[in-house]
Amino acid sequence: MELTVNLQKKLRHFTLDVNLTIKDEILALLGASGCGKSMTLKCIAGIERPDSGRIVLNGRTLYDSSKGINLPPQERHVGYLFQQYALFPNMTVADNIRFVAVGTKAEKEQAVLENLHRFHLDELADAWPRELSGGQQQRAAFARMLASRPQLLLLDEPFSALDSYLKWQLELELSELLKSFGGAALLVSHDRGEAFRLAERIAVMQNGDIEVIAPRHELFAAPQTRAATLLTGCKNISAARRIDEHHLEATDWHLTLTSAAPVPADLRYVGIRAHYLEARDASGENTFPMEARQVIEDTFSMLIMTAASSEAAAIRWETGKDIWHSLEGHPLYLRFPPDQLILLTR
Amino acid sequence: MMSWSPLVLSLETAVCATVLTFFLGIGLAYWVLRLPHGQSMADALITLPLVLPPTVVGFFLLLIFGKRSFIGGILAKADFSLVFTWEAAVIASFIVSLPLMYRTARGAFEQLDGTIVAAARTLGISEWRIFWHILLPNAKSGIIAGLVLAFTRALGEFGATILFAGNIPGKTQTMSTAIYAAVQANDYDLAFTWAIIIGTFSFVFVTALNLWLRHNRQGASSWN
């Protein structure tokens, strides 16, 4: 199963410009809301029309502006799971599935029974969509989508309509379903954890551009761009300037840091994740006296906003409650582990 | 003894006009909603008979179908004239009631979440099946409401009818034009009888519609 996408579409605030290939894998499109993720899915499904480009699924051209090809959604065989699930309100769960199933009458009944069973919907077969909980609606929508035998799955923020407890339950289920589907899937999300847990590769989108596509571990270890760094959950980013091979100046933080990795000449930003900072008793290599500006108690940790001086930008530090309490009354020194600095050139 | 022919003619023309209005109103609503351009213009054109004085509609119908017009000329060659006929009464009622059906059907279609139609398309459902199995069933209440409004409007049509179809007893005289004739002839008793009959008909239809809608309503949408 292979999908190649090349599309351009002018939107109100920016131009969508997407280039990607998926092959038998789950790819997550990670980006802030309004960055063009959903529009990309809609163009692939044929709900929206790009201005130009080419979309090919398993050798079938779905869209090609140069050849004037634009298949209607009905002929694309692309499953789309909508944020609000979009079940047909005038049909029961079983009828929703029966209505889209393909084949002879017997095959359709078979598809209904199979999918009801597979999604634990047997007891809800005769229920109306309005009677279902969010999670049940999602399962019904998923069952219906698979009954139409799609060659590719598009999942648009599949958990956004659910509360956090249900979210986790469904994420577990969805991850199983995606594995059993076996084909390619494109998942749109603004939640880095969700993207990391469900997808093998992650594409970071910003203002209509795909900034980075990388295997998930690689992306979180070395996010490459400022937007990708923020989206992967790094809270601390400072403008930066190279001093020499292993030294740099973090200009927002008013700190001179040592990096284990060689510093690129065109360095622009440096980042460090809040939980990688380490408390120390005294100054040392990459260890500086810091002032705590604000202390916030979180559920299971402490969040401390610290800075090197009163003019410097704040740095967020996350640490265990026990560590923080053991430090009380002592001057604070923080170490920036040289191998944990994220060096960014764009 | 009064003649019942205005009642029979009113019902006949209203039923025929409503059948035409029903199919064309829904068809036009569906067509306009899918127009890539010019929705506002098309919408305005179809809605016009609702806001124009019915006499203006009748006058235009006379111009379009009259003997001196192109269409009238063709009909005359076939030895047929529409003006002052029963068919003219049907056309007049049809044109005047069409906007009511069209607007309520369109509103009902628009109520349906667009992603449901988009989802149906990605699931391989043809436009034809989407229309019959998703759009129409979900717009049922709105369409029935439009149907009743169109019927009661067609039943009470006066201005366009009297200009285009005339007021010929036993041929084109409906209840509303019969009231006019009765008042002109100073026969207030007869006018009153027709007024009561037409009022009762309309009241019964609209009340039945309300009861049906209330029965079909899911959840409370009343304001109190």
| Residue-range domain boundaries for chain B | 5-216
Find the residue in A nearest to B125 (Cα).
A74
Residues 22-81, chain B, touching A (beta carbon < 8 A): none
In a shared domain, residues A197 and A118: yes
Question: What band does B80 get if pLDDT is binned at 50, 70 and 90?
Answer: confident
Residue B220's pLDDT is: 46
Residue B224's pLDDT is: 53
In a shared domain, residues A137 and A263: no
In a shared domain, residues A73 and A182: yes
Report in angstroms the alpha-carbon separations of A50 from A18, A46, B61.
Answer: 10, 9, 46
Are A74 and B133 within 8 A, CB to CB? no
Are B122 and A47 within 8 A, CB to CB? yes
Residue B219's pLDDT is: 47
β-sheet bridge partners, residue A184? A152
Residue A201's pLDDT is: 92
Q: Which of B115, B133, B218 sits opposite A99 (nearest CB)?
A: B133
Q: Is the ipTM reported for this complex over the cut 0.95? A: no
Mean pLDDT of B71-79: 82
Residue B210's pLDDT is: 86
Number of folded domains that form chain A: 2
Q: To the nearest whole angstrom, how far is the Cα of B141 from the nearest Cα of chain A?
A: 12
In a shared domain, residues A153 and A122: yes
In a shared domain, residues A188 and A151: yes
Residue B113's pLDDT is: 87
Are B122 and A100 within 8 A, CB to CB? no
In a shared domain, residues A188 and A58: yes
Last-in-domain residue among A225, A245, A270: A225
Domain carrying residue A299: 234-344
In a shared domain, residues A300 and A252: yes
In a shared domain, residues A253 and A213: no
Task: Give pTM, 2 decimals.
Answer: 0.80
pLDDT digits (tens, 9 = 90+) for B137-153: 999 889 999 999 999 99
Tens of pLDDT along chain A (346 residues)? 899 999 999 998 899 999 999 988 999 999 888 888 999 999 999 999 999 999 999 999 999 999 999 999 999 999 999 988 999 999 999 999 999 998 899 999 999 999 999 888 999 999 999 999 888 898 899 999 999 999 999 999 888 767 777 778 778 888 888 887 778 899 998 888 888 888 999 999 988 888 889 899 988 888 888 888 888 888 889 888 888 888 888 889 898 888 888 888 888 999 899 889 888 888 888 888 888 888 899 888 889 898 888 888 888 999 888 888 888 778 888 898 888 888 888 8
Half-sphere exposure of B93 (CA within 13 A, CB side): 35
Q: Which of A47, A73, A86 sits opposite B113 (nearest CB)?
A: A86
Surface-to-core class of residue B41, CB atoms within 10 Å of its CB (0-12 exposed, 13-18 middle, 19+ buried) = exposed
Residue A113's pLDDT is: 93
Q: Average per-residue pLDDT in chain B? A: 90
Residues 111-140, chain B, touching A (beta carbon < 8 A): 113, 115-116, 118-126, 133-134, 137-138
In a shared domain, residues A37 and A10: yes
Residue A250's pLDDT is: 87
In a shared domain, residues A35 and A183: yes
In a shared domain, residues A137 and A104: yes
Nearest to B180 by CA among B12, B168, B170: B168
In a shared domain, residues A334 and A193: no
Question: H-helix or E-strand containing A39?
Answer: helix A37-45
Q: Which of B118, B125, B133 sits opposite A47 (nearest CB)?
A: B118
Which residues of chain A lie closer than 8 angstroms to B121, CB-CB? 46-47, 72-74
How many CB pairs below 8 Å do chains A and B form together? 59
Complete edge-to-edge strand list for the sheet that includes strand A287-297: A278-280, A332-335, A287-297, A302-307, A315-319
Question: Is the predicted pLDDT of residue B222 greater than 80, yes or no?
Answer: no
Which residues of chain A lie closer than 8 angstroms to B119, CB-CB? 80, 82, 86
Q: What's domain B5-216's architecture?
A: Orthogonal Bundle (1.10)
Residue B221's pLDDT is: 52
